[in-house]
A and B are shown apart, each in its own frame.
Chain A
């Protein structure tokens, strides 16, 4: 079983749509959780950290369920500029100090 699993998609949605991505992680000792965004041929950029209490940043909402070892990202009112690969990332667990990336979910927002 992979340490971090994501549905690779692709997700193709129209502008204005709401889209949700899910991610599961295998190691219950994992300590920190993030969503990164990566544009084609660019470096990953931190989108937001994920907390058990849930956190929101504008159109983006992230949620962590430690009991189910499940992380989610919700994007509301999708924009064309949201088209990217979204990476679920977990820190700690099997190797302290190591970021483990999911395979990424490809999102394409079309007019």
Chain B
């Protein structure tokens, strides 16, 4: 069990470019979550999947954001036409439905939009 892994750890991009982040959850976990964390704030929920189904999306997830989990394993979060306000840490977490309720977090992907 290698834990939740995220890639890339850091991404610097220019405004207007598209970026994609990948998350590999703990292998037996069927739930996967994306959160966004800005400096000095707590993580804010963006969206979550159970297996390959996206079951909830926050109003924070604008039309420029899209998340997928095509085979119920890894997930991608794409941001199109990035804006400076998108600069944040994007955290992925996973859990097992019917488990303890604990979310296991990755170390995050830090996005800087210039």
Partners in one complex: no
